[in-house]
Amino acid sequence: MTEVKQKHLLGIKGMNANQLETIFQTADNFLELLQSPVKKTPALRDVTIANLFFENSTRTRVSFELAEKRLGADVVNFSSSSSSVKKGETLIDTVNNILSMKVDMVVMRHPAPGACRFLSKHIDAQIINAGDGTHEHPTQALLDAFSMRNHFGGSIEGKKVVIVGDIKHSRVAISNIHALRLLGAEVMVCGPSTLIPKNIESLGVKVNTRIEEALEWADVANMLRIQLERQDARFFPSLREYTRLYGLDKNRLDALNKDLLVMHPGPINRGVEISSDVADSGQSIILQQVENGVAVRMAVLFLLAQGNL
Ligand code: CP
């Protein structure tokens, strides 16, 4: 058994399958706790955590804050839009000022790839990456893999997962690929060739630009949002064209004649990459993913704080 004790969670790359399984087993316990009337444990009552969000977020921010509060931690929230970052303060100065108020852990989302690693080299606190530009979003990949694992009865070894959409700009896709490969799943990416990074096969994934073939192959479809905010060029003619060629709607789903599991990390653009009737169907576990996210983030925070990850 390879043992890696890590101080931070900066990405899935570099982790091993045992670490992921430790997170999942711990998350199983926290999920049980969250489903009980108590919902809370004082496990991190001596820990202070700062949530630093330099980029918009709904799910990740609320999920981390709930996870921290369910663990009894003291929590402080920071959002760049209402801070002195607007007055020209640097990232390190901002963070050091917050840390001088005796913060133990920092959960950070930032638009720059590598921002969390950079910070980890300059400050003493433990850092958890809540999404850094197009680089990684490790807790999203962990909650996605945990949701698949629970759906399939405890293992995703040999399961076929297709990630559909804007792979080029997606930190979720990259972190998912690393996590799913570690857990023995087969992974395919599907989308317009302009939105698939060159050499992505080197990560051990298949590529298919035809969604019908990709869905036919898959047990799970993880549908991604088109990240218009990260695109500095036009990668396809129009959103309507994208939906026609790559959107998952009821016709495409019904044509498969099998129980494809439908996932989406959110936020959803209804009617673009996924139709409302599919997003809200019995084959979709989108809200289950969000529920599981709190338990998975509790597990990550707890294990890191104990030095057991
Ligand atoms: N999935 C996800 O990262 O969503 P938010 O941007 O709302 O946090």
Q: What is the pLDDT of residues 147-157, one digit of tens each?
A: 999 999 999 99
Query: Could you give the percent of the chain with pLDDT greater than 70?
Result: 96
Q: What is the pLDDT of residue 203?
A: 98
148 and 265 share one domain: yes
Cα 21 to averaged position of ligand 1 atoms, centre (Å): 23
Mean per-residue pLDDT of the chain: 94
pLDDT of residue 5: 81
- Centre of ligand 1 to C-alpha 195, Å, is 20
Measured in angstroms, how far is the CA atom of residue 222 from the centroid of ligand 1? 14
Q: Which atom of ligand 1 is nearest to the CA of 60?
A: 8
- Domain membership of residue 4 (yes or no) is no
What contacts 24+ positions apart, CB below 8 Å, involve 178-181?
A: 178/11, 178/12, 178/13, 178/15, 178/141, 178/203, 179/12, 179/20, 179/138, 179/141, 179/142, 179/144, 179/145, 180/141, 180/145, 180/156, 181/205
- The answer on 298 and 165 residing in a single domain is no
Is residue 56 one of the residues assigned to a domain? yes
Same domain, 201 and 163: yes
d(CA 203, CA 213): 21
CATH label of the domain that carries residue 210:
3.40.50.1370
**Which of 52, 55, 57 has most ligand 1 atoms within 8 Å of its beta carbon, as the pocket-test mutant?**
57
Residues 270, 168: one domain?
Answer: yes
Whether the per-residue pLDDT at 2 is higher than 80: the answer is no
Residue 146, pLDDT above cutoff 60: yes
Nearest to 24 by CA among 306, 275, 292, 305: 292
Render pLDDT for 201-244 as a digit per residue (tens, 0 to 9): 999 999 999 999 999 999 999 999 987 666 665 788 788 999 99
Nearest protein CA to atom 4 of ligand 1, as residue: 59
Together in a domain, 179 and 121? no
Tracing tokens 């629970």 back to the chain, one arrives at 150
Gap between the Cα atoms of 38 and 56, Å rounded: 31
To 5 degrees, how large is the angle CA 121–CA 124–CA 127?
70
**Length of the chain, in residues:** 309
297 alpha carbon, distance to own chain's centre: 10
Map residue 128 onto helix, strand or coil: strand
Q: Is residue 215 part of a domain?
A: yes
> Parallel, antiparallel, or unpaired: how do β-strands 48-53 and 126-132 relate?
unpaired
Name which residue leads in pLDDT, 69 or 80. 69
Q: Quick one: DSSP state of residue 306? A: H
Q: Does 11 map to a domain?
A: no
Q: Count how many domains the chain has.
A: 2
Distance 233 CA to ligand 1 centre (A): 23
Q: Residues 178, 242: one domain?
A: yes
Could you tell me if 189 and 116 lie in one domain? no
281 CA distance to ligand 1 centroid (A)?
A: 21
182 domain-assigned: yes
Residues 146 and 267 in one domain: yes
Both 33 and 92 in one domain: the answer is yes
Distance from C-alpha of 265 to C-alpha of 222, rounded to nearest angstrom: 8
Residue ID of nearest Cα to ligand 1 atom 3: 60
Mutate which of 140, 143, 147, 170 for ligand 1? The one with the most ligand atoms within 8 Å of its CB, which is 140
Looking at residue 49, its pLDDT comes to: 97
Of 269, 249, 245, 253, the closest CA to residue 194 belongs to: 245
Ligand 1 nearest atom to the CA of residue 55, by list position: 6
- Rounded to 10 deg, the angle between the 138-151 and 171-182 helix axes is 50
Residue 2 resides in a domain: no
pLDDT score, position 87: 78
Distances (CA, A) of 12 to 25, 131, 139, 218, 297: 17, 12, 9, 23, 14
CA 133 to ligand 1 center in whole angstroms:
12
Say if residue 146 is in the same domain as residue 280. Answer: yes
Distance CA 181, CA 111 (A): 26
Kindly give the distance from the C-alpha atom of residue 88 to the centroid of ligand 1, in angstroms, as a whole number: 26
Cβ partners under 8 Å of residue 232, min gap 6: none
User: Within 6 Å (CB) of ligand 1, which residues are found?
Assistant: 57-60, 131, 137, 140, 265-267
The ligand 1 atom at the shortest distance from the C-alpha of residue 130 is 3
Based on the domain organization, do 117 and 211 belong to the same domain?
A: no
Specify the pTM.
0.95
Residue 8 lies in a domain: no
Q: Is residue 5 part of a domain?
A: no
Task: Report whether pLDDT(254) > 80.
Answer: yes
- Please report, as a single letter, which amino acid is at residue 46: D
Distance CA 60, CA 53 (A): 10
Give the list of residues 6+ apart from residue 17 with CB closer than 8 angstroms, or none: 182, 183, 184
Judge contact between 242 and 226, C-beta under 8 A: yes
> Does residue 181 share a domain with residue 248?
yes
pLDDT at position 4 is: 55
User: Residue 1 — very low, low, confident or very high, per pLDDT cuts 50/70/90?
Assistant: very low
Domain span including residue 49: 17-136+290-306
d(CA 126, CA 132): 16
- Element holding 207 (H helix, E strand): strand 206-208
